[in-house]
Amino acid sequence: MNNQLNNIKEVISNYIEINDEEWADYSSKFRIKEIKKKERILNEGSICRDVFFVDRGLLRIYFTDNKGEEKNFHFALENTFATDYESFLKNIPSNYSIQALEDTTLVLMSYEMLHDGYKELRYGEKLGRLLAEEYFFMFSEKIQSIYTISPLERYNKLKTRFPKILQRIPQHYIASYLNISSVHLSRLINSELHK
C-alpha cells in the first residue's frame, strides 16, 4: 500500500467503519501532492476543488481584509483537513487562500471523490456529514472564543492546546490569527512574563 495513505486511512477510520475492500477501491482515487514552503494550493478568487488532507507539514488558511491586509484564519496541522468548504460545496470563487508554511505532503479529495464515497462506501454519507460537522464545530468554537475571551486568553489557550504549534508558526501570523497587531501580541506576551 502507498505509505502516504496510512495517515489518512487512520483518520478516516476514526470517523467511520471502512473495510479493506472498500479502502482498496476508494483509496485509489486519492491524489498526492508535494508542495514547497510558501507555495499556494488555493488562491483567493479561484474555486476550491479539493479537500486537502495534511499528511506532513503545515498549512495556513487566510483571507484579505478591506485594507488589503492578510488575516490568518486557520492553521492546518498534520492529520487534519483543510478546505474552503463554501467554495468547495457551492462551486463558487473562494475568499480564502491556502499556503504551505513548511514543505508539505497533501492528500487531495476532489468533490467527485467525496460524492462517489456517498454511494460506494457503506458509511460515505456519514463521513461527509461528520467532516462537515467537525468543520462547523470549529467555526462555532472560534466565534465563541472571539466573543467571550480576550486576545491574551486566546493566545494562552492556543499555547496550552497546541504547545508545539507556536514553534512552527511565526508570531506575527499568530497575531493576525488572533486579530491583533504583531506589536500588541509581543507586548502582551512580554508584559505577562514580567509579572
Report if residue 158 touches DNA, rule: CB under 7 A: no
92 binds a second copy (CB under 8 A): no
Applying CB under 8 A, the site for a second copy has a residue count of: 28
Decide whether 39 or 153 has the Cβ nearer to a second copy: 153
89 binds a second copy (CB under 8 A): yes
Shortest approach of DNA to residue 140 CB, angstroms? 21
Residue choice 6, 46, 144, 171 for contact with DNA (CB under 7 A): 171
Is 37 an interacting residue with respect to DNA (CB under 7 A)? Answer: yes
Residue from 52, 73, 75, 155 in contact with a second copy (CB under 8 A): 73
Residue where the block lists cell 507539514: 57
Backbone torsions φ then ψ of 81, nearest 5 degrees? -100, 150
What order of strands is seen across the sheet that includes strand 31-35? Answer: 31-35, 104-110, 50-56, 81-82
Distance CA(186)–CA(182), nearest Å, equals: 6
Burial status of residue 98 (CB atoms within 10 A of its CB: 0-12, 13-18, 19 or more): buried
- Of the two residues 110 and 156, which places its CB atom closer to DNA in the complex? 156
Select the binding partner of residue 149 from DNA, a second copy, none (C-beta < 5 to 8 A, by kind).
Answer: a second copy
Amino acid at site 74? H
Residue 7 in grid coordinates = 495517515
Q: Which positions touch DNA (CB under 7 A)?
A: 37-38, 67, 150-152, 170-173, 179-190
